[in-house]
Amino acid sequence: MNTIAPDYVKTDMGSIQIAPEVIEVIAGLATLEVQGVAGMSGGFAGGIAELLGRKNLSKGVKVEVGQREAAIDVSIIIQYGNRIPEVANSIQQNVKNAIESMTGLNVVEVNVHVHDVHFNNEKPVEDETIVLRVK
């Protein structure tokens, strides 16, 4: 696991290290706070973690962290009826503010990827089993 230990967080008592996974969780939570976000779009690894009963708070988030800067990518599912550019802009501002205030890192970019649209009348599909009948 890589950790961040920039010079400016070294103290007389030692150093402060922030794991990239912590930044992913902060970004994920900040994204979910935004009105219009129905959920995060994870992928195979995120889906496996949820099947095992663990809530993956960094689902749909990818970070690149340097010594003093971070770039964030978030993949979301948007709630139908919301203006995508407005929701994406709110996500960018909320993620940037949360990471900068909690870690002291400078967020240089927040890229928002919209992967799906969620409709209010949709019921979650638990099992997508396809039955083929041969005549």
For domain 7-118, the CATH architecture is 2-Layer Sandwich (3.30)
Per-residue DSSP letters for 57-121?
A: TTTTEEEEE-SSEEEEEEEEEEETTS-HHHHHHHHHHHHHHHHHHHH--EEEEEEEEEEEEE-TT
- Contact between residue 33 and residue 74 where contact means Cβ atoms under 8 Å apart: no
Alpha-carbon distance values, 14 to 17, 51, 100, 110 (Å) = 10, 39, 22, 31
More confident residue, 41 or 33: 33
**Helices and strands in the chain, H and E counts:** 3, 6
Give residue-wise pLDDT tens across range 1-18.
455 544 556 778 888 888
Q: What is the pTM of this model?
A: 0.75
Please state, in angstroms and rounded to a whole number, the distance separating the CA atoms of residues 23 and 39. Answer: 18
Give residue-wise pLDDT tens across range 78-125.
999 999 999 999 999 999 999 999 999 999 999 999 999 998 865 554
- Contact between residue 17 and residue 3 where contact means Cβ atoms under 8 Å apart: yes
Q: Is the pLDDT of residue 46 over 70?
A: no
Q: What is the pLDDT of residue 135?
A: 53
Q: Which two tokens stand for residue 106?
A: 């400078």
Domain ranges for the chain: 7-118
Please state, in angstroms and rounded to a whole number, the distance separating the CA atoms of residues 39 and 22. Answer: 19
